Each structure stands twice: as structure tokens, then as C-alpha cells.
Amino acid sequence: MPANQKHLSNPGQRILKITAGILGGFFVTIFFHNALGSLLEQKGALIITTAYTSFILWAALLVIAFLFKNGWKVWGIYLLLTLIFGVVIFLNK
């Protein structure tokens, strides 16, 4: 039984969601952990836990990208988060 067409997104939106989930989620994850590292004084524990939490956060952001109807919104939110974390990194140098 095929899926109901009203619940499916068009191929362009699907590609935007996939790329936002994979690439955008990766950039948000990396910038988040770098911003967290710039705020902390002792970085030894952060290096150890980053190996685990980075994959968990990236996987969660990948799934969250598919919850949106519009792929451009996902890209906008992920780029905004990346920019915010980048500003935090820049200000704490």
C-alpha cells in the first residue's frame, strides 16, 4: 500500500533536509563543543566526553531535521546556531 501523497515532501525539500541533517548537524555539533571548550577552564574532561556526546548530538540533530516541513527553515536554524556558537568562541579567545 503506497503512502498518502499529502504526507510526503517533494524531492527538493527531502534533499535540503538530508543535507541539513548531515552537514548542518555536524557543524552545529562541532561549534557547540568548541564553544563549550572555550568557556571551560579545564579541558581534559571535555575532550573525553566530546567523543560520546558529539555523536549523540549529531544523531539527534539529524532526526530533528526531518521533523520540519521546510528544509530551508532547518538550514536557517542550524546556520544561526552555528553563528551563535562561533560568536561565543570568538568572544572567549
Q: Show pLDDT as tens, one digit a residue, over the chain (93 residues).
A: 666 777 667 889 999 999 999 999 999 999 999 999 998 888 788 888 888 999 999 999 999 999 999 999 999 999 999 999 999 999 998
Whole-number Cα distances in Å, 30 to 47, 51, 78: 12, 11, 12
Question: Is 5 within the bounds of a domain?
Answer: no
Residue 34 to residue 50: CA distance in whole angstroms: 10
Domain span including residue 25? 10-91
- The pLDDT, as a whole number, for residue 48 is 84
pTM for the full predicted model: 0.87
Question: Is 1 within the bounds of a domain?
Answer: no
**Of 72, 68, 82, nearest to 25 (Cα)?**
82
Question: Is 46 within the bounds of a domain?
Answer: yes
What letter represents residue 78's amino acid? Y
Look at the chain and report how many structural domains it folds into. Answer: 1
Question: Is 37 within the bounds of a domain?
Answer: yes
List the helix and strand counts (H, then E) for the chain: 4, 0
Question: Is 82 within the bounds of a domain?
Answer: yes
